[in-house]
Amino acid sequence: MKEINSFARGVLDGIPICLGYLSVSFAFGLFAVGSGLTVFEAVLISMTNLTSAGQLAGVPIIVGGGSLIELASTQLVINLRYSLMSVSLSQKLGKSVSLLDRLIIAFCNTDEIFAVASGNKQSVGKRYMYGLVLTPYLGWSAGTLFGAVAGNILPQVVVSALGVAIYGMFIAIIVPPAKKSRPTALCILLAVALSCAFKYIPALSGVPSGFVIIICAVTASVVFALAAPVQEAGEEPKDDK
Amino acid sequence: MKFSEFILYLFVMAGVTYLVRMLPLVLVKHKIENRFIRSFLYYVPYAVLAVMTVPGIFYSSSYLISAIIGFCVAMILAYFEKGLLPVALCACAAVLITELLIPLLT
């Protein structure tokens, strides 16, 4: 089968992702400096991680002086879905992709990059992949910088309002699939109920934030993986967009 | 926090995130067939985002009431599938308007 391997084509396909990332990472930058990190630290996190939920969960652990075990295990669970995407993407990469290319491409394998790369009918080559990840990576880093700087200079009432942005995006990600799939909706409700229990039940409220995410998300996911497993027939698990 | 402490956190965070992505891409050459694992990995992102959003969103602005209004606006627009950016911006606008009104009403 012929392989798509045009750098320009990759860049074009990446631009919509880049635009989306600008706004999400702007919200992350705001959140990070609002939590007490410096602008430089916020941008460093974005440049080395490229994972919205993971970064957002990581910042309170870092700022709160949580343990490295808590940080590592939180990142492991939140980013576990990428391992599945990497497995899938690994079948999609063409012959031009060497081991070194795989080591670099893996760094940029986000939900959206994976979705777009997988959307191609043919296998994809290294030049296409480098083009595809280029602008999203720059957008992710630049958006964080803008958000972090804006958090320091905008009036408090505006910063307060923008604080809700990243949660609004999360809601926009999880509600549409929940409409179409009842088990997904119920899984979300169970996760929310558990999360609220850890926040409001005094005996549980001392559990560190990272572990709360792990316990709630793993419990809800295991329950519904057993109760309502996804369809067979080689269907890909949906990405979280 | 000292910058050296931050770098240690950053190293662990980025390291784990990278390994989770890199190892399967380099090592695994065939698809995961196990239905339980596939199902588990399908649900994880939704559960994670749900846990992070509620109740966190209610403490994301200066007042509880403005955050609740922002949450409701986001839920309604997300239900009608308005897309990431419109949902987020309208939620922000709802919070902003509420917080500008609060001093006038109290």
| pLDDT, tens only, B19-69 | 999 998 888 766 678 899 889 888 988 998 899 899 999 998 889 999 999
Nearest-CB residue to A175 (from B35, B39, B78): B78
Number of domains chain B is built from? 1
By residue count, chain B amounts to 106
Q: Residue A93 in contact with residue A129, Cβ under 8 Å?
A: yes
Gap between the Cα atoms of A222 and A207, Å rounded: 21
**Residue B92 within a domain:** yes
Of the residues A88, A95, A167, A226, the best mutation for testing chain B's interface (the one with the most B CB atoms within 10 Å of its CB) is A167
What's the pLDDT at A23? 84
Contact A110, A50 (CB under 8 A): yes
Smallest Cβ–Cβ distance between A167 and the set B46, B60, B62 belongs to B60
* Residue B95 domain-assigned (yes or no): yes
* CA–CA separation, B84 and B62 (whole Å): 23
Mean predicted confidence (pLDDT) in A156-174:
87
Q: Which domain holds residue B68?
A: 51-105
Residue A45, judged by CB atoms within 10 A of its CB (0-12, 13-18, 19+), counts as: buried
Before B55, cis peptide (omega within 30)? Answer: yes
ipTM of model? 0.90
Taking a contact as any Cβ pair under 8 Å apart, which residues of chain A between 165 and 184 contact chain B? Answer: 165-179, 184
| pLDDT for position A232 | 54
For residue A236, what pLDDT is reported? 41
Contacting residues of B for A163, CB less than 8 Å apart: 60-61, 95
* Residue A140 or residue A167, greater confidence: A140
The pLDDT, as a whole number, for residue A156 is 86
3-state SS assignment for residue A234: coil
Separation in Å, CA B62 to CA A151, B27, B98: 14, 47, 11
In whole angstroms, give the CA distance from residue A188 to residue A174. Answer: 8
Rounded to an integer, the average pLDDT of A54-79 is 94
- Sort out which chain B residues have CB atoms less than 8 A from A23's CB and list them: 84-85, 88
Q: Is-contact A30 A165, C-beta < 8 A?
A: yes
In a domain, residue B9? The reply is no
Asked whether residue B14 is assigned to any structural domain, the reply reads no
0.90 exceeded by the pTM? no
Rounded to 5°, angle at Cα B74 from A154 and A38: 30
Nearest residue, CB atoms, B74 vs list A50, A56, A168: A168
Q: Which of B8, B48, B101, B102 to mutate to test the interface with A (most CBs of A within 10 A)?
A: B48
Give me the pLDDT at residue B27, please. 87
Count CB pairs under 8 A between chains A and B.
306
Residue A116 near residue A132, CB atoms below 8 Å: yes
Please report the pLDDT score of residue B29 as a whole number: 67
Q: Which pLDDT does position A134 carry in this prediction?
A: 96
Query: Would you say residue A237 has pLDDT above 70?
Result: no
CB distance from A100 to chain B under 8 Å? no
Helix, strand, or coil (residue A123): strand
Cα separation of A135 and A217, whole Å? 31
Angle (deg, nearest 10), helices A165-180 and A182-200: 140
Confidence class for position A52, pLDDT limits 50, 70, 90: confident
- Which alpha helices (H) appear in A79-208, and where do they start and end? 80-92, 99-107, 111-119, 126-153, 156-162, 165-180, 182-200
Among A83, A88, A111, A212, the residue to mutate for chain B (most B Cβ within 10 A):
A83
Contacts of A44 in chain B (CB under 8 A): 10
pLDDT tens digits, one per residue of A171-212:
998 999 999 999 999 999 999 999 999 999 999 998 888 889
Strand partners of residue A93: A124
Q: What is the C-alpha to C-alpha distance for residues B54 and B61, in angstroms, rounded to an integer?
A: 14
Q: Which of B13, B29, B44 sits opposite A80 (nearest CB)?
A: B44
> Which residue is listed with tokens 């790369």?
A117
Whether B74 maps to a domain, the answer reads yes
Q: Quick check: A102 contacting B, CB < 8 Å?
A: yes
CB contact (8 A) between residue A217 and residue B47: yes
**Which residue carries 């990576």 as its tokens?**
A137
Query: Is A68 near chain B, with CB under 8 Å?
Result: yes
Dihedral of the alpha carbons of A161, A164, A166, A168, in degrees to the nearest 10: -120
pLDDT of the residue at A171: 93
Flag whether B4 is in a domain.
no
Per-position DSSP letters for B30-76, written without gaps between them: S----HHHHHHHHHHHHHHHHHHHTTGGGGSSS-HHHHHHHHHHHHH
| In-domain check, residue B81 | yes
| CB contacts, 8 Å: B77 with chain A | 172
pLDDT (tens digit, 9 = 90+) per residue, A109-143? 998 898 888 878 889 999 999 999 999 999 999 99
Average pLDDT value for residue range A144-165:
90
Q: Tell which of B3, B5, B17, B31 to mutate to test the A interface (max A CBs under 10 Å).
A: B17
Alpha-carbon span A69 to A51, nearest angstrom:
19
Examine residue B39 and state whether it is found in any structural domain, yes or no: no
pLDDT interval class at B92 (50, 70, 90): very high
Could you give the percent of chain B with pLDDT greater than 70?
Answer: 97
Q: Which residue do the tokens 């088990």 mark?
A: A183
Query: What residues of B are in contact with residue A87 (Cβ under 8 Å)?
Result: 24-25, 28, 31-32
